[in-house]
Structure 1
Amino acid sequence: MSTTTSVTAKAAVQERLARHRSAVLALSAQLHADPEVAFEEHRSAARVSAVLEEAGFDTVVGCYGLPTAVEAVYGSGSFRVIICAEYDALPGIGHACGHNIIAASTAGAALSLAAVAQELDLTVVLLGTPAEEDGGGKVLLLNAGAFANAHLALSAHPTSGVDIDCSGTSSQGCDRFHVQFRGKASHAAVAPSAGVNALNAATVAQVAIGLLRQQLPDGVRINALVTAGGSAINVIPEHAELTLEVRARDAAIQNDVTHKVLLACEGAALATGCSWSTEQPSPGYLPLRQHEGLLKLWNRNLTATGRTLIRPPAGGGGGGSTDMGNVSQAMPAIHPVIAVLGSQGMPHTAAFADETCGPDADAAVMDAALALAWTVVDAAAAPELRASLCQARDERWRLADALAVGE
């Protein structure tokens, strides 16, 4: 495919996006006004689906085992692109992470790419992914095969203030788990020696984790919260519980530190005579691995919308965690940021929630939609990049087949 093809296709994409502007921005406003939390996004999923269905996409609400997941497909080309929508909100403060912007911009990108799906031999998929904030919807979808046939996946996340060049940045992987300690209750004054103090186990575990921090690589974060530890001062507590979190920018380090933290809990149980158990209520999030070639295209295309990208300081950027990290570890993907220009609130605050609806938020929706769609056009029209993405998918298939045979 030629440069001329790419230029012509980009013009067609921009024209179609302009025609759908009202529907795309209405979607963002509707989601913002009616926030729904993780796994409860029934109205949000229906709204996303309706916009795509109206534009001729084959849509399903409730797929891959998740009632609030959406899959909307246009075209039947050999190059399959998944654009990931998020639409869950935060409890109490609504769309303080701007997922209404993500949903609307990705819907806009998918709608606009329908104009060139046949020309570029595309299958365009808008995948609505529930529960990014709490529950790991993309991890569940990944495990269920929703991404298996795709050549690439992409979306863009809103941020505050200015646009950032995400080259060389990542996100923190995150493992969260609950640890329970079980002891034996007794009267703390009359017969303390007859008890086994579960809260002591939780305390020893926290001390051990605190000492462990000296030997951890830079950038690792461990957080601990006592969520149960007794209810009466004169009763030896028989049950205590910790909620623990491990964050790291490298998947191997994340796994190693999680293992060491759990060993500290096991040692605390042994030292105090308690039994212990652990559970991970939701999938762990892995660090984001941006595909360099796709990210260069995104940077160029976002700049072409009139925005200026700022390089963050060394070691800066990517402080949070996202289940898009798991997708990016499994296949070529990008998840850069788009600024709500001039916003003052930080994400995950009530102030930013207020700023994710309005003219500046609408500009973020439209610019992100256009840059995402143009990035897909460039990837599909560049012979070498397209071939490498096809090769990467074929290699994933071969690996999956080998693992299946091994089982």
Structure 2
Amino acid sequence: MADDEATAVVESVVRGAATDLIALSHSIHAEPELAFEEFRSAAKVADLLAARGFDIHTGIGGLPTAFDARFGSGDLVVAVCAEYDALPEIGHACGHNIIAASAVGAGLALAAVADRLGITVRVIGTPAEESGGGKIVLLERGVFDGVAAAVMIHPGPFDIVGATSLALADLAITFTGREAHASAAPEYGRNAGDAVTVTQVALGLLRQHLAPGQQLHGIVSAGGVAPNIVPAHAELLYYLRARTAESLAELWKRADACFAAGALATGCTHEVRTVAPTYTELTPDAELVAAYREEIIAMGRKPVARELEGLRPLGSTDMGNVTNIVPGIHPVIGIDSQGAVTHQPAFAAASVNASADAAVVDGSIALARTIIRVASDPAGRDRLQELLAQRSAVGSVR
């Protein structure tokens, strides 16, 4: 099957399934579920794939809301990652309903040409991207072993092909002091709430000296129980981010000193723990990026210029860890969000408008066409297989 024939097939399949794909997107959006609790959403995605002939394995990697849907038996294994977790209180303000539906669409399209292309198609349901690092867990437990390329799309206000992200550390810092009556005997207290205040002042002053790309931001998740009791327990939840894992390690060291300063100044003790696995930065595969760019432009979309792609990283994603091991891409597909950005309630509302529905269809086709381009090119195919062989030779990341 020639490239143009395969392209025609995948477009026909996606457009024929568009009603079901859009309904899936809307259904996931209507019932938002948080990290590792996406039971309904994961089932909706897996059920549609099963109805179209995919072999479904649930609970992969020990995660109840993860799944692996497979079709075909070709020697080149390609994975499309589906995300479906939502954010607390503001629901699908990151548009993961679009990600899930487009992953299904791409999977169905590639299944239709799998035998002719000699590929095995896997749609991998990856929970807990917003918090928890589901892909990292699956990566470490061998779920991506044997995968030659991994792809997905993410919605945003603009089309961005070579999207970048920041490495991220998700931390909880707890301070322990001693209760006392805040009026009658304050001298007997050791104020954990004050430790939080000192720490945040120190972190705020540190911002002047951060390297380009380094960020830190957080909330007070616990700070006392009553005004007349000196708080004995307080907690900060903080994200540290940087352009690279190495830069993140440097920032972490400096932030640790601020945490310790809060405890020292107030006579408290403190403990730092990681809430989720550390995310690494996106490292998109150059050849897959180039293929996707050609396909999305051919479809009539106008991505931002290459020189502008890295000016504003897209926060952080556990897909970064995948792309540091497996050749992959994480482009952004644009929707009309009326000026809203991700993690705003207005973006959640925009994630089911007409442009979001179009993004489901276009994203499905673009991802499938990208894989067709690479799988049909002997040199590109050999390159992916060679990279996989090198990875296998040194063993799984487990």
TM-score (norm 1): 0.91
Aligned pair 1:394/2:380, yes or no?
Answer: no
- Structure 1 residue runs without a partner (length 5+): none
CA distance in 1, matches of 2:222, 2:167: 26
Q: Which of 63, 68, 79 is the aligned partner of 1:66?
A: 63
1:37–1:90 CA contact under 8 A, matched in 2? yes
Which residue of structure 2 lines up, in the alignment, with residue 38 of structure 1? 35
Q: Which moved more, 1:238-247 or 1:331-340?
A: 238-247
SS in 1 for 2:9: helix
Which residue of structure 1 lines up, in the alignment, with residue 242 of structure 2? 248
Q: 1:198 to 1:348 in 2, by over 3 A?
A: closer
Which one-letter code corresponds to 2:325 in the other structure?
A
SS in 1 for 2:2: helix
Q: Which of 264, 268, 277 is the aligned partner of 1:270?
A: 264
Which residue of structure 2 lines up, in the alignment, with residue 78 of structure 1? 75
Which residue of structure 1 lines up, in the alignment, with residue 194 of structure 2? 200
Q: Which of 121, 136, 156 is the aligned partner of 1:124?
A: 121
Q: Which of 86, 93, 97 is the aligned partner of 1:96?
A: 93
Q: Which moved more, 1:75-84 or 1:187-196?
A: 187-196
CA distance in 2, matches of 1:202, 1:32: 36
Which one-letter code corresponds to 1:386 in the other structure?
R
Q: Which of 133, 149, 168 is the aligned partner of 2:146?
A: 149
Which one-letter code corresponds to 2:298 in the other structure?
A
Which residue of structure 1 lines up, in the alignment, with residue 46 of structure 2? 49
Percent of aligned positions that are identical = 43
For 1:276-295, what per-residue CA distance to the aligned partner results, in whole angstroms no more than 9, with x for missing partners?
A: 11222222222111111101
CA distance in 2, matches of 1:225, 1:92: 16
1:173–1:254 CA contact under 8 A, matched in 2? yes
Q: Which moved more, 1:58-67 or 1:26-35?
A: 26-35
1:373, distance to aligned residue in structure 2 (A): 0.3
Pairing 1:286-305 to 2, within 5 Å after superposition: 286-305=280-299
Pairing 1:309-320 to 2, within 5 Å after superposition: 309-311=303-305, 313=308, 315-320=310-315
CA distance in 2, matches of 1:322, 1:16: 30
Q: Which of 218, 223, 234 is the aligned partner of 1:224?
A: 218
Q: 1:266 to 1:344 in 2, by over 3 A?
A: closer
Q: Which moved more, 1:322-331 or 1:32-41?
A: 32-41
Which one-letter code corresponds to 1:55 in the other structure?
R
Which residue of structure 2 lines up, in the alignment, with residue 358 of structure 1? 353
Which one-letter code corresponds to 2:381 in the other structure?
R
CA distance in 2, matches of 1:251, 1:31: 33
CA distance in 1, matches of 2:235, 2:92: 31
2:151–2:329 CA contact under 8 A, matched in 1? yes
Q: Which of 303, 308, 319 is the aligned partner of 2:302?
A: 308
Aligned length in residues: 397
For 1:302-352, what per-residue CA distance to the aligned partner results, in whole angstroms no more than 9, with x for missing partners?
A: 112121222274752323221111111222110001111474432222222
Which residue of structure 2 lines up, in the alignment, with residue 214 of structure 1? 208
CA distance in 1, matches of 2:298, 2:60: 36
For 1:105-147, what per-residue CA distance to the aligned partner results, in whole angstroms no more than 9, with x for missing partners?
A: 1101110111221122111000011121222211121122111
Q: Which moved more, 1:307-316 or 1:179-188?
A: 307-316
Which residue of structure 2 lines up, in the alignment, with residue 114 of structure 1? 111
For 1:202-241, what per-residue CA distance to the aligned partner results, in whole angstroms no more than 9, with x for missing partners?
A: 2332233233333320121111333333334444332222
Which one-letter code corresponds to 1:126 in the other structure?
V
Q: 1:145 to 1:163 in 2, by over 3 A?
A: same
Q: Which of 345, 358, 366 is the aligned partner of 1:371?
A: 366
Which residue of structure 1 lines up, in the alignment, with residue 341 of structure 2? 346
1:201–1:269 CA contact under 8 A, matched in 2? yes
Q: 1:48 to 1:392 in 2, by over 3 A?
A: same
SS in 1 for 2:258: helix
Which residue of structure 2 lines up, in the alignment, with residue 163 of structure 1? 159
CA distance in 2, matches of 1:358, 1:368: 15
Which residue of structure 2 lines up, in the alignment, with residue 183 of structure 1? 177
2:241–2:248 CA contact under 8 A, matched in 1? yes
Q: Which of 326, 335, 338 is the aligned partner of 1:331?
A: 326
CA distance in 2, matches of 1:241, 1:85: 33
Q: Which moved more, 1:316-325 or 1:146-155?
A: 316-325
1:387, distance to aligned residue in structure 2 (A): 1.8
Q: CA RMSD in A?
A: 2.2
1:206–1:224 CA contact under 8 A, matched in 2? no
CA distance in 1, matches of 2:271, 2:393: 37
Which one-letter code corresponds to 2:284 in the other structure?
Q
Which one-letter code corresponds to 1:362 in the other structure?
D
CA distance in 2, matches of 1:76, 1:366: 26
Which residue of structure 2 lines up, in the alignment, with residue 173 of structure 1? 167
For 1:57-86, what per-residue CA distance to the aligned partner results, in whole angstroms no more than 9, with x for missing partners?
A: 101232221111121000111111110011
Which one-letter code corresponds to 2:113 in the other structure?
V
SS in 2 for 1:186: coil
1:45–1:61 CA contact under 8 A, matched in 2? no
Which one-letter code corresponds to 2:147 in the other structure?
A
- Structure 2 residue runs without a partner (length 5+): none
Aligned pair 1:382/2:380, yes or no?
Answer: no
Which one-letter code corresponds to 1:378 in the other structure?
R
SS in 2 for 1:119: helix
Which one-letter code corresponds to 2:88 in the other structure?
P
Which one-letter code corresponds to 1:123 in the other structure?
T
Which one-letter code corresponds to 2:25 in the other structure?
S
